[in-house]
Structure formats: structure tokens, C-alpha cells
Amino acid sequence: MKESLSQNSAIYLDAVTKVYPTAKGDFYAVREVSLDVQPGEFYSLLGSSGSGKTTTLRLIGGFEIPEYGEVYIGGEVVTESRPFQRNVHTVFQDYALFPHLTVAENVAYPLTVAGVNRSDIAPRLQEALKLVQIPDLGDRRPSQLSGGQRQRVALARALINRPQVLLLDEPLSALDAQIREAVRQELRQLQRQTGITFVYVTHDQEEALALSDRIAVMHSGRVEQVGPPSEIYENPASLFVAQFIGQANFLTGAVVAAAGAATPTVTVAVNGRLIQAIALNHDVPVVGATATLMIRPERISLSASPADNQVGGKIVDVTYIGQRVESLIDTPVGLMKVVQLCRSPAIGESVTLGWQRDRCILLPGFADPTLSPK
Ligand code: ADP
Ligand code: MG
């Protein structure tokens, strides 16, 4: 299994660990991270600050060498080879442009240092500038560009060498929200158009969900879950992932019954109410065990039509967010958040909340109460 993965993957990390010596002893920035990135894939490393994303990217790029584990690029072991010996290009967070060079000189730089002929450089330079939609800015200097334009220059410089793999470390974080969303779409198109494998680091879950074929969620130097965006969102493998991605309601109670084979149905008593859930990603808990249930706010209906789970409640707060309406509802199982598209309930109104058991995901462990809806 391992052999074929390392052979067919664009990138394959096999139990890679990076340890930094610090005054307080060894610090494990990345712990036994294994992942496979397929050729042509848009693969994101998503996690909060300090979770080990940049270190993982630097291990792939060759800027760090792991204490344990192996790094494969294109089926070859590159664990200890230098950055320039790897067919990857890194776009750093701050773009790292040369201020004294023009845009054209910046973009052509990798070809210039490689000794490529001037006449061969010109068409590739134009192609790269066109690809990132700044064909006319070649004569400017970085100081004469907007943040979005600088980002494009950094991308063009990365693309001019036609790398198999592009490593991008929070490339949009320096842009303001509106531009970020526009550039985000272009980046996705660019990736599809060129077929280059992207490994994309971000702390922004929305960005990761919108862009990625697959996401690896990182936490404390480990990979918590790998999957397509919809799977990460709908079927989080752990409480951490459920809390980190999107909004969710968490209910905690004791398991009173567990049955079924493929997707076992579990009944949990929450404040004396029996709630039905399914255990998707892990073993069925024993009767009497404590369990946490997760329900996404948009999976709860207020229509009073039949549902596996129903509780009554009273609306305590309503927030309008453009097309959506968020309601906080006081119920016997606790405060619940519900998101709807159209109905606008009034504060004080009595409602019935309903949700299906296959939208009620049982997770191991306790929810962090500070992350419950307020
Ligand atoms: P992220 O990119 O997810 O924010 P990093 O990979 O940059 O996280 O860092 C992961 C952890 O490793 C952080 O706690 C960071 O402080 C630590 N770290 C990173 N580089 C070094 C270093 N050179 N020496 C010591 N600790 C480091
Ligand atoms: Mg980082």
C-alpha cells in the first residue's frame, strides 16, 4: 500500500516529524504527519495559527529536513535533498519580491539564474504574465503595485518554471476581503487550467472549503482528518474538526441504546430527552457512555413536519445576515442555533425544532463549552 502510494502520488509524506530544539526542550512542530497528494489536485492544509502548516510546507519544499519519516515527490525520496533539487516552487506569504527589480525581471528571475537565453525568456515571460492577468505591468516595480498585483507577480514567477507542484503559504492573507474573494476564484481557475498540483496553506476555513479538492485539517502538529470539503463539513471525524469548521450545535448526554451495523443508530439522553443520532466515523459507544452530538444549524427545521428528533423551544434572539436568518432558541436540551433561508421568526415565538438522525453526528469526547452558540 505504502509503495503504491509513494509511487503514484505527486507528494507523499510518510510519518514525517519535525522537532525544534527550544529553551524549554524539544518542540514537536509536526508529528507523524502522513499524507498523499494526487497529481493535479488542489490540496489544502487547514488549521489555526501554530498548527504546523508552514512547517509541513517547508518540509515538502526542502527548507526543513524532518527528524523522522520520508518525503516523496513524484515517486522519489527527496527527504534530504535541497529546495532547488525538487520540482516544486514555493510562493511565500510575503511574496518575497525583489524591490529593485521590475515586474518582468522578478518574474523572469528563475530563468535568468538558470542561464536561459534572453530570446527564450521573452515568450515565457509574456505567457506567465498573461496567465495571472497582468500582461501590461512588466515595467513597473513592486512598490508601484497593489497587494493583489504583487500577489500575481509572485504567482507568475512561480509558474514560469512550470513546476509540477506549487506550494502556497497563505497567498491571499495580505489582501482585503473583497479582492481576496475575486483572486480566490482566479487561483482556482489557474490551477485547473495549468493542471499543476497545488498544496495550499490557509487558516481560513471558507477559503479551504471553496478551493480544495481535499483538505487536511491540522491541529497541534497532527493531521486530524483528510477529505473533500463536503465530507469534512458534514461528517467531521473528531470534535476538534466539528468545532473548527463552520457552526454547529453540540449536545452532550448518556448513551441509552446503540444498534445497527453499517451506520449504527445511537440513542442519547440529553437532559431527559431521547435524541437519535448516528455514529459515522468511529466505533459505536457502549450503553452508559457519555457522548457528544453535533447538528449543523441549517439541518434543523422549524416547520413542525415529522422528523426523527423534535423538541419545542422559544426564540430568544434573531440575527439577519443577508440572505440567511440565524435564530437562537431556548429548548429543553439547551440553547440551539438554527439557520434558515427565508422564514423570519420573532423573538418570543414558540417553535418546534426538527432534525433527522442522519444529520445528528455522534462524536467521541466532550464539546468545548466555550464554543457553544451564544
Ligand atoms: P502554522 O503555519 O500552522 O501557523 P508553523 O508550522 O509555522 O505553524 O509552526 C508550528 C509550531 O512550530 C509553532 O508553535 C511555531 O512556534 C513552532 N516553530 C516554527 N518554527 C520554529 C523554529 N524554527 N523554532 C522553534 N519553533 C518553531
Ligand atoms: Mg504559517
Three-point CA angle 93, 217, 8, nearest 5°:
90
pTM of the model: 0.88
53 lines ligand 1 (CB under 6 A): yes
Which of the ligands is closest to the CA of residue 58? 1
pLDDT tier at 161, thresholds 50, 70, 90: confident
**Residue bearing cell 512598490:** 143
In the chain the domains, ranked by start, together with CATH numbers, are 2-240 (3.40.50.300), 247-363 (2.40.50.140)
Q: Tell me the CA distances in angstroms from 314 to 85, 125, 303, 331, one per residue in order.
A: 63, 63, 14, 7
Instruction: Determine the distance separating the centroid of ligand 2 and the alpha carbon of 201, expressed in angstroms.
Output: 7
If we measure between CA atoms, which residue out of 294, 302, 304, 374 comes closest to residue 345?
Answer: 302
Which of the ligands is closest to the CA of residue 51? 1
Whether 246 and 76 have beta carbons less than 8 Å apart is answered as: no
CB count, 10 Å around CB of 103?
Answer: 26
CB count, 10 Å around CB of 66?
Answer: 21
Instruction: Determine the distance separating the centroid of ligand 1 and the alpha carbon of 27, expressed in angstroms.
Output: 9
Task: Take atom 15 of ligand 1 and give the residue whose Cα is closest.
Answer: 50
Helix (H) or strand (E) holding 151: helix 147-159
pLDDT, tens only, 36-46:
999 999 999 99
pLDDT, tens only, 298-349:
999 998 789 999 999 999 999 988 889 999 999 999 999 999 887 778 999 9
Whether 129 and 178 have beta carbons less than 8 Å apart is answered as: no
pLDDT, tens only, 210-240:
999 999 999 999 999 999 999 999 999 888 9
If we measure between CA atoms, which residue out of 284, 336, 328 comes closest to residue 309?
Answer: 336
Atom of ligand 1 nearest to the CA of 22: 25
